[in-house]
Amino acid sequence: MRVAIIGVCGANAKKHLDSYKKLEEKISVVVDTNPKGQSIADELNCAYLDDYSKLDSSMADIASVSLPPYLHARVVEHLVSKGIHVLCEKPLPLTVDEGKALESVIQVGGVSVMVGFCLRFSKKFLTIRELIEQGKIGTPVQIRARYSALSKIEGTWRADPGKGGGIMLVNSIHYFDLAPWLIGSKVICADAYGDSAFQGQPAEDNVHIILSHENGCKTIIDANYWTFNSSSVEFEVIGSTGRMYILQNTVILENSDGSKNIEIENDSMYLAEVSYFIESVKSGSAPRPGILEGINAARLVERAVLSMKQKERIWIED
């Protein structure tokens, strides 16, 4: 299939690009306003465009989109109108209203649109989901996720909530999507606390979020864009009879049978994600996560942001 990479100069785009190359798919065109895109096109021996609106189905069958979030919906809408299947980095959409409008466009366009919630394709999280389904830790009681890292957001779109900034929409949204998928239970309310204590920008840079699921499980998310050179990434699921957590490339299961280390090898989640997207397009099946999952995640972000601002629990309405 002929592949377009939109936003090719970005860090995430390289992960998509490398995946298509490993799968031996033809990169037919790259798109970026950054002139460095031309040199990447020269290396790939493909076409270069500085404007996504110039792209149509005569140049590509499928496209990966990796841009600042506020551009995602308009670019995806253009691609759909041209009959091009799309894998778009999260978040897509930024808001529920934007998502519902885009959903209508996708239905008319008749092409596949997939949202890049890449954690669903990590072997670590697939292993955790399988163990939960097997009852290895009993009934899920708590999911605990933490992501904290150096990220200087001043002067970038990440500092502007209107452009998709804020750590909830940029990062925590991964867990907003992942947790219901892991345990098979939707979120019914959100309690969120946060501010911009680290960097003083309009968008929040630290949050503590409690998501309550329909089955009684709680997902607790801590996230920080701090200004010192350190990072902390943790993930744990606690059940009624055991727990699991991730330590580097190992899933550790602890229950009444003892402790078991499950080594995860070759965890190439972007490669798995891109491969799944291509197979979905070829088979004509709707890829998941799609626009509906994107809308659901955006809804949770909207409600969590409202909870943070109003300092109260917010119930989730479909």
- Taking Cα atoms as reference points, which of 234, 53, 66, 225 lies closest to residue 143? 234
What's this model's pTM, rounded to 2 decimal places?
0.96
Spatial contact of 222 and 205, defined as CB atoms under 8 Å apart = no
List the strands of the sheet with 26-31, edge to edge.
47-49, 26-31, 2-6, 62-65, 85-89, 113-116
Q: Alpha carbon 9 to chain centroid distance?
A: 19
- How many C-beta atoms lie closer than 10 Å to residue 218's C-beta? 17
DSSP result, 243-288: EEEEETTEEEEEETTEEEEEE-----HHHHHHHHHHHHHHHTPPPS
Range 120-271+298-315: architecture per CATH: 2-Layer Sandwich (3.30)
Contacts for 93 with CB less than 8 Å, ≥ 6 apart: 72, 73, 99, 102, 291, 294, 295, 298
For the chain, domain boundaries: 2-118, 120-271+298-315
Q: How far apart are CA 79 and CA 75, in angstroms?
A: 6
List the strands of the sheet with 218-226, edge to edge.
258-263, 250-255, 242-247, 231-239, 140-150, 218-226, 206-213, 187-195, 314-315
Q: How far apart are CA 135 and CA 131, in angstroms?
A: 6
Give CATH superfamily name and number for 2-118: NAD(P)-binding Rossmann-like Domain (3.40.50.720)
Per-residue pLDDT of the chain (318 residues; tens, 9 = 90+): 999 999 999 989 999 999 999 999 999 999 999 999 999 999 999 999 999 999 999 999 999 999 999 999 999 999 999 999 999 999 999 999 999 999 999 999 999 999 999 999 999 999 999 999 999 999 999 999 999 999 999 999 999 999 999 999 999 999 999 999 999 999 999 999 999 999 999 999 999 999 999 999 999 999 999 999 999 999 999 999 999 999 999 999 999 999 999 999 999 999 999 999 999 999 999 999 999 999 999 999 999 999 999 999 999 986
Tokens (6 digits) for 307 = 């909870």
Backbone angles phi, psi at 200, to 5 degrees: 65, 30
